[in-house]
Amino acid sequence: MNYIKKLSPVIVTLLLWFVPVPEGLSVNAMHYLAIFLGVVVALITEPVPAAITGLIGVAAAGALQLVPGANGVITTKSSISWALSGFGNSTVWLIFIAFMFALGYERTGLGKRIALLLMRALGKRTLGLGYAVALADLMLAPFIPSNTARSGGTIFPIVSNIPPMYGSSAEDQPRKIGAYLMWTCLATTTVTSSLFFTGLAPNLLAMSIVKSSVNVDISWIEWFKAVAPVGILLFLATPALAYFLYPPTQKSSPQAPAWAAGELKKMGPLSRREITMGLLALGALIMWIFGGKIMHGTMVAMIAMILMVLLGVVSWDDVLSNKQAWSVLVWFATLVTLAGGLSKVGFLEWFTEACTGLIQGYSIHTIIIALLVLFFFSHYFFASVTAHVTAMLPLLLTTAAAVPGLDMRLMSMLLCGTLGIMGIITPYGTGPSPIYFGSGYVGRNAFWILGGIFGLVYFGAYLLIAVPWMTSIF
């Protein structure tokens, strides 16, 4: 049985490689799909580490020259350029630097101090801590369009200091409290990413595509009004839902606030390194909120990391020795590359046309639901919400516009409102996902299962609440 598990990625790849190619799909696209799905299976079964899995997939597709270049021609040069393209992705590097922020909080003790303050205020019950980290994301979401910067770069470095104080680590008793908090952080940020127009960078991209494709404009307040009924409900339910579906083994700790107060007293006043780390984090946060027109968020993070090294917050050896961060960088960079390849080989266009062709002739309500299902669950093929928006949204908008009587303002908002919550379904679905997955608290199988369950819950709530609500206001 263990051998079958280890060989399952190879088996899936070979089976798909040799099946008859569907009409309208090229042989190259079919072979590429075989490799991509083999990689996904390997990420689930993990016969080898995730990073090397991604490299194998990229190397195989590149060596076999399956992906065309910008001019549609495949050459050895275009193949290597494509294979390395993910390492130039800004989100990939922002994810990497988020780990460096966490390292800075850990090395200086600032993360421990902030975590102790949270424990002193809300540490009696684990559920209370869950709502505390959720509220932190909610307060930042309207102002930071990058959920990677918001959750991965700001909240994760602080929250990661809480579990060890309860005797919970990735290696020892992760379910005690750490796994619950990490999952709550990730699930919450996907909800707030949908709730606010400015809570997720691809939301802004999506609206620009909507404007250029079907000439529809939706304002910040119109977006919030449309998503608020389901978004607020999901936000309030998420910490409790995680508590029920993935319960921490330690539900309460009545003595924790008193213990935290004692530990804070032992720590004494803020040290120079803590103050330095705090100022750098605050500066990055301010730039993420207000400085988007001046400097890209990843550049802000990169400068902050450089200053962390130059000012002695962390050493360069600390950066080099952070194996977890480097592994996640390689893993996510290769996944971004592989997911982007699906569009380049023509698979996504063929897939969308095949699916939308099946719904012609049905009622408008049925078509709306079918397009939403296709848009949401096709996110399994993407390692980036931005890539998903770029590849799928124009195709679905064009398809919807051809349906007589379908209100494109309604359809556009319904599609765009799912962009945040769809990120929950995989360990690579949105920027913060690799960070929380890479922390090691939530196991590989649990991450996929929880992602599937929460994805179904979120999407089900969206269909039951958002669809009728938006239909009534648009």
**3-state DSSP assignment of residue 125:** strand
Asked if 378 and 390 count as a contact pair (C-beta separation under 8 A), the reply is no
The reported pLDDT for the residue numbered 404 is 85
Provide the CB-side half-sphere exposure for 113 (13 A, CA). Answer: 18
Q: How many residues does the chain have?
A: 474
Q: What mean pLDDT is predicted for residues 176-184?
A: 95
pLDDT 10s digits, 293-315: 888 888 988 999 999 999 999 99
Secondary structure of residue 252 in the 3-state scheme: strand
- pLDDT beyond 60 at 1: no
Q: What is the pLDDT of residue 146?
A: 83
Write down the pLDDT at residue 48.
84
Higher local confidence (pLDDT), 417 or 253: 417
State residue 309's pLDDT score: 95
Q: Is 166 helix (H, G, I), strand (E, B) or coil?
A: coil
d(CA 302, CA 305): 5
| pLDDT digits 0-9 by tens, 37-87 | 888 888 878 788 888 988 999 999 999 999 888 777 888 998 999 999 889
SS (H, E, C) 382-441: CCCHHHHHHHHHHHHHHHHHCCCCCCHHHHHHHHHCCCCHHHHCCCCCCCCHHHHHHCCC
CA atoms within 13 A on the CB side of 117: 9
Rounded to 5 degrees, what angle do the CA atoms 18, 10, 32 make?
A: 55
pLDDT of amino acid 465? 97
pLDDT of residue 263: 85
Task: Give the pLDDT mean for 274-285.
Answer: 90
Residue 125's beta-bridge partner residues?
Answer: 252
- Give the pLDDT confidence of 369-399 residue by residue, as tens digits: 999 999 999 999 888 788 888 878 888 888 8
Counting other chains too, the contacts that 169-172 makes at CB distance below 8 Å and 24 or more residues apart are: 170/439, 170/440, 170/441, 171/440
Find out whether 99 and 318 touch, Cβ atoms under 8 Å: no
- Find the range with the poorest average confidence among 50-59, 89-98, 217-226, 431-440: 89-98
Global pTM value: 0.81
Q: Of 154-168, 172-186, 212-226, 339-353, which gets the smallest average pLDDT?
A: 339-353
